[in-house]
Structure 1
Amino acid sequence: MAIDTSLSPAPTPGPDDVQPSRTARLSRRDTLVLLVLCAAQFMVSLDFSVLNVALPALGDDLGMSRSALQWAVTAFALPSGGFLLLSGRIGDLFGRRRLFLIGLALFGAASLLATFAWDPASFLAGRALQGLGAAAIVPTGMSLLTTTFAEGPARDRALSISGTLLSLGFTIGMVAGGVLTDTLGWRSTMGLLSVFALLALVLAPGLLPESRSPERPRLDVPGAVTVTGGLLALIYALSTAADRGFGHGDVVVTLVAGLALLAAFTVVESRAEAPLVSLPMLRRRTVAWGNLGGLVTFSMMSAVVFVLTLYFQEVLGLSAFETGLVFGVQGVLSAVAGACAPRVIGRFGARRTLVGSLAGQGALVAALLGLDAHTWSVWLATAAVSLASMCHLGAIISYGLTVASGVPDEEQGLATGLITSTQQVGITVGIPLLGVLATTSADLLSGVRTVLALDAAIVLAAAVLVGLGLRSRRQAASGAVEPEALGAR
């Protein structure tokens, strides 16, 4: 799974906002502000990966079955995605700095709870509270950064530094997770996050100014409640169906409830004055098909990383540290892909890059079907998953540009919110949707192959659908610019 480094455009600063820097050269105070904001974002990025390689050890210690391990990831991703847009609105209304600090405090306390968890329930509670804290930190941190540094060289430099650290967070997390698990145990991975939160919480109050949106937007609480409840119900149903079957009572009830809540969400959003998701915007060609590509690339890659983590340690017998090194190679090549992607997009356009990246990701995941129980498979796995991750990064960047190309400037904030939400939902649904097939299989290797086959088929099908959906070169009636016209930004 990878972390999206795109930042939402912040509202125009009001009288309470900090006076932004206007030169590329950062003052000492600006540097410290950037350091605190980047450290918080880096911490959240780290959380997406630092626990992955520790999952088998965690399961053994807390008595969690293989089928329950997916909740270690899902319990964090679901609230962080479900409350992301609402948290951004709360920050706009009541103060971004205030909510940022609350998020840091909650994240730090939740990390301590996960560190000292005494059973699966207490650990998953800590992970869920971490997700709520992250939902507050990510949008407010982005807004504080873009209101502190004026558009131009100073903001470009700040965003470049922030994006680099976010990209490194995933790679460092995989390697650090392996080292910490092998030396100090899996609990140290959660303890590391609490240290990051504490340091940021100590420095932030004296450095960050308060910042609010002058528009004072209304909160769409019904929208947040229905979409979060719907996703939670659906994911529970999918996660338990493999164990109990789709005919089991609680599976049927939660599946119906999830679909009903999501249907209610569409009704709520169509009537809300300040909706979390603009339904008319979703009817735009580039927004709809671009987000489909983003949803598939995130969800399917997160499932691959999850099942390969189990495969490396439980089938091949690699240590947590060795597993972290494999994913470290993946992270390095992903960073290279991120640096090269703007040139590729500038040459071929965002649409072709998105379709080609999805096709490449699907084909390389299909190559993983050659894995077996022999140790030589680690070389095939390292090469295939690393190259697939390069395609994954290309899809992430190009889907964001594709979506943004379909809306006018005044609606870019809503479009970027959709991009971020797609990322979070994709990370949330991928593991329970496919990962459960591996964790509940009597033969883990057979289960891993089943997941990889379905994963590859879904990504390749999405490449075809997105390509057909965006094949028209005509501009949409709303005046959207076709992705082919986009170069590197």
Structure 2
Amino acid sequence: MSLPTPAPPPHRAGPVLCLLAGAQFLVVLNTSIVNVALPAVGQDLRLTPAGLAWIVNAYLIAFGALLPVGGRLTDLLGHRTAFVAGLLLFAAGSLAASVPWGFGPLVAARAVQGAGAALLSPAGLAILLAHWPPGPGRGRALGVWGAASAAGGAAGVLLGGVLTSALGWWAVFAVSALVALPGLVAAPLLLARDARGRTARLDVPGALLVTAGLTLLVHGLGAQGHAPLTGFVVPAAGVLLLLALVPVERRASDPLLPPALLRDRAVVTGNVLMLLLGAAWVATFFFLPLYQQNVLGHSPLEAGLAQLPLAAALMAASWGAGRLRGTLLPGFLVLAAGLLWLARLPVGGHLVGDLLGPSVLIGAGLGFAFVPLTALGVATVEPRHAGVAGGLVNTSRQIGGALGLAVLTPLAAPAAATPAALAHGYRRALVAAALAALLAAAGACVHLARGRAGSPPGAALPTGRTDTDG
């Protein structure tokens, strides 16, 4: 098992943070960059809509299902080793996806990308936590990391459209491989070598159960409304496999999910609230473009450009949340207010009059909540468990998004395919997402009240600062 990664010299702190933020940008970029290119992929490879969905889902399922394993491997292999291995795997998958071999190889390459991301993301977060101890510095670093996540989502929509139009769909994958190359060169130079401690083994039965369980759960939830077998039986099987994980982990000498994490109130609270945030997050980025295209008649590129104010607000709020205290509760309240405002969704809506204001509020709420939630999920964790804790909090957001789509998509289903019926369905889904944000705000209130009543002086706050930071 690796020992804590040594902090970088002061003159390397900036470049290290740029490297980590760039890796997170790359991971999030690939959740959205392929979306605009899907019609071109389908035309070239003669794919059905179901086949096109697998090009998206192969990445998301592999990423979400393997995150706990990637986090545990980060702790076992060492932070730098896991980071470089994840980046190399991600680059290899990106390069393979850029070659038009056919549907099967493309889906396999996307799964390799997702596996690389599942190792890269928790490794990057573990390095950040090791380099920046609790205090104002960690808060600022997490703010930059969160802003990079927001930038990746926005850049994916724009780059996907530009690259597909100028070069072809293959370029959306090739650019990820090119972006990864400087990181592969810089990581061994900037990151300190992993210090080695006692030897531990990967809990293989636990890894297989959690990966299979999450794969079935995420895939089944994403298929709600398509096929009864896939939409209900498959996620139920996933839940059963995850329940079977409990006795297996109790008997394991080196469990995949250390019991101390599951007993940590801050870790549990952070992950539960991240589930709710993930549901509200996916509602915005899924239903808003549908409203713009299906009701307002915007093109995909116009819909992508219209989300730039939301992305800019998300980036700014993430950056600011790393420098401010107490943004968790206001973040959820602002998010709920933005979703309720957006839920007006008139049939003849306008970008400036009807979408701009609520989009900015939603982006600000997401950013103000996301950064302190990430900090809360890892704040009290021992350095030797930083990787698995980082993987767990990322998994919660992914599963929250899948749960959100499973619940909200039936609510948005219109009685008829008219613009008025579609808008009414999207309004129902956004109101339900706002209720999830309000439920998370209530949970944040309980957590903050308990923290004030029971935290000793100097205890970690959700932003990663301490009571003595002022």
**CA 1:241–1:142 in structure 2 vs 1: closer, same or farther (change >3 Å)?**
closer
For the residues of structure 2 that align with 1:228 and 1:388, how far apart are their CA atoms? 32
**CA 1:207–1:418 in structure 2 vs 1: closer, same or farther (change >3 Å)?**
closer
Q: Which residue of 1 aligns with 2:120?
A: 137
Deviations 1:430-473 (A, max 9, x none): 44554576589863545433432332233323333443465444
Q: Which residue of 1 aligns with 2:442?
A: 464
Q: 1:110 aligns with which of 81, 93, 98?
A: 93
Q: 1:75 aligns with which of 53, 58, 61?
A: 58
Residue identity opposite 2:198 in structure 1: E
**CA 1:481–1:106 in structure 2 vs 1: closer, same or farther (change >3 Å)?**
closer
For the residues of structure 1 that align with 2:206 and 2:288, how far apart are their CA atoms? 36
Q: Which residue of 1 aligns with 2:109?
A: 126
1:215 is displaced (CA, Å) by: 3.2
For the residues of structure 1 that align with 2:460 and 2:76, how far apart are their CA atoms? 32
1:261 is displaced (CA, Å) by: 0.5
Q: Which residue of 1 aligns with 2:354?
A: 380
Matched position secondary structure for 1:242? coil
Q: How many residues align?
A: 461
**CA 1:123–1:429 in structure 2 vs 1: closer, same or farther (change >3 Å)?**
farther
For the residues of structure 2 that align with 1:430 and 1:195, how far apart are their CA atoms? 34
For the residues of structure 1 that align with 2:59 and 2:168, how far apart are their CA atoms? 20
**CA 1:475–1:259 in structure 2 vs 1: closer, same or farther (change >3 Å)?**
same
Q: Which residue of 2 aligns with 1:3?
A: none
1:326 is displaced (CA, Å) by: 1.9
1:297 is displaced (CA, Å) by: 0.7
For the residues of structure 1 that align with 2:324 and 2:14, how far apart are their CA atoms? 32
Q: Which sits farther off after the overlay, 133-142 or 406-415? A: 406-415
The gaps in structure 2 that reach 5 residues or longer are none
Q: Which residue of 2 aligns with 1:16?
A: none
Root mean square deviation of aligned Cα: 4.2
Matched position secondary structure for 2:4? coil
Is residue 20–residue 149 contact of structure 1 (8 Å, CA) maintained in 2? yes
1:337 is displaced (CA, Å) by: 1.3
Deviations 1:321-358 (A, max 9, x none): 3233222221211122123325652xxx3xxx433322
Give yes or no for the alignment of 1:399 onto 2:377: no
For the residues of structure 1 that align with 2:56 and 2:410, how far apart are their CA atoms? 12
Counterparts of 1:223-262 in structure 2 under 5 Å? 223-245=206-228, 248=229, 250-262=230-242
Is residue 289–residue 469 contact of structure 1 (8 Å, CA) maintained in 2? yes
1:301 is displaced (CA, Å) by: 0.6
Q: Which residue of 2 aligns with 1:359?
A: 333
Q: Which residue of 2 aligns with 1:6?
A: none
Q: 1:331 aligns with which of 300, 305, 311?
A: 311
1:38 is displaced (CA, Å) by: 4.8
The gaps in structure 1 that reach 5 residues or longer are 1-9, 14-18
1:63 is displaced (CA, Å) by: 6.1
Q: Which residue of 1 aligns with 2:177?
A: 194
Residue identity opposite 2:4 in structure 1: T
Matched position secondary structure for 1:243? coil
Residue identity opposite 1:12 in structure 2: P
For the residues of structure 1 that align with 2:111 and 2:414, how far apart are their CA atoms? 23
Q: Which residue of 2 aligns with 1:297?
A: 277
Give yes or no for the alignment of 1:267 onto 2:253: no
Residue identity opposite 1:369 in structure 2: A
Is residue 318–residue 367 contact of structure 2 (8 Å, CA) maintained in 1? yes
Counterparts of 1:369-448 in structure 2 under 5 Å? 369-374=343-348, 376-377=350-351, 379-404=353-378, 415-435=389-409, 443=417, 444-448=422-426
For the residues of structure 1 that align with 2:449 and 2:286, how far apart are their CA atoms? 33
Residue identity opposite 1:329 in structure 2: P
Is residue 53–residue 323 contact of structure 1 (8 Å, CA) maintained in 2? no
Q: 1:455 aligns with which of 428, 433, 446?
A: 433
**CA 1:354–1:158 in structure 2 vs 1: closer, same or farther (change >3 Å)?**
closer
Residue identity opposite 2:453 in structure 1: R
Q: Which residue of 2 aligns with 1:276?
A: 256
Is residue 8–residue 192 contact of structure 2 (8 Å, CA) maintained in 1? no
For the residues of structure 1 that align with 2:191 and 2:382, how far apart are their CA atoms? 31
Residue identity opposite 2:73 in structure 1: I
Deviations 1:42-94 (A, max 9, x none): 32232233234445665666666667766544432332233233234334444
For the residues of structure 1 that align with 2:42 and 2:339, how far apart are their CA atoms? 26
Is residue 58–residue 114 contact of structure 2 (8 Å, CA) maintained in 1? yes
Residue identity opposite 1:475 in structure 2: G
Q: 1:12 aligns with which of 4, 13, 17?
A: 4
**CA 1:319–1:183 in structure 2 vs 1: closer, same or farther (change >3 Å)?**
farther
**CA 1:431–1:60 in structure 2 vs 1: closer, same or farther (change >3 Å)?**
farther
For the residues of structure 2 that align with 1:126 and 1:42, how far apart are their CA atoms? 19
Give yes or no for the alignment of 1:211 onto 2:173: no
For the residues of structure 1 that align with 2:440 and 2:318, how far apart are their CA atoms? 22
For the residues of structure 2 that align with 1:11 and 1:436, how far apart are their CA atoms? 47
Is residue 21–residue 154 contact of structure 1 (8 Å, CA) maintained in 2? no
For the residues of structure 2 that align with 1:252 and 1:166, how far apart are their CA atoms? 32
1:388 is displaced (CA, Å) by: 0.7
For the residues of structure 1 that align with 2:133 and 2:120, how far apart are their CA atoms? 21
Is residue 365–residue 455 contact of structure 1 (8 Å, CA) maintained in 2? yes
1:413 is displaced (CA, Å) by: 6.4
Q: 1:475 aligns with which of 454, 461, 466?
A: 454
**CA 1:362–1:481 in structure 2 vs 1: closer, same or farther (change >3 Å)?**
same
Is residue 404–residue 415 contact of structure 1 (8 Å, CA) maintained in 2? yes
For the residues of structure 1 that align with 2:101 and 2:461, how far apart are their CA atoms? 53
1:204 is displaced (CA, Å) by: 5.2
1:262 is displaced (CA, Å) by: 1.0
Matched position secondary structure for 2:271? helix
**CA 1:290–1:435 in structure 2 vs 1: closer, same or farther (change >3 Å)?**
same
Q: Which residue of 2 aligns with 1:222?
A: 205
1:99 is displaced (CA, Å) by: 4.3
Is residue 223–residue 265 contact of structure 1 (8 Å, CA) maintained in 2? yes
**CA 1:284–1:168 in structure 2 vs 1: closer, same or farther (change >3 Å)?**
same
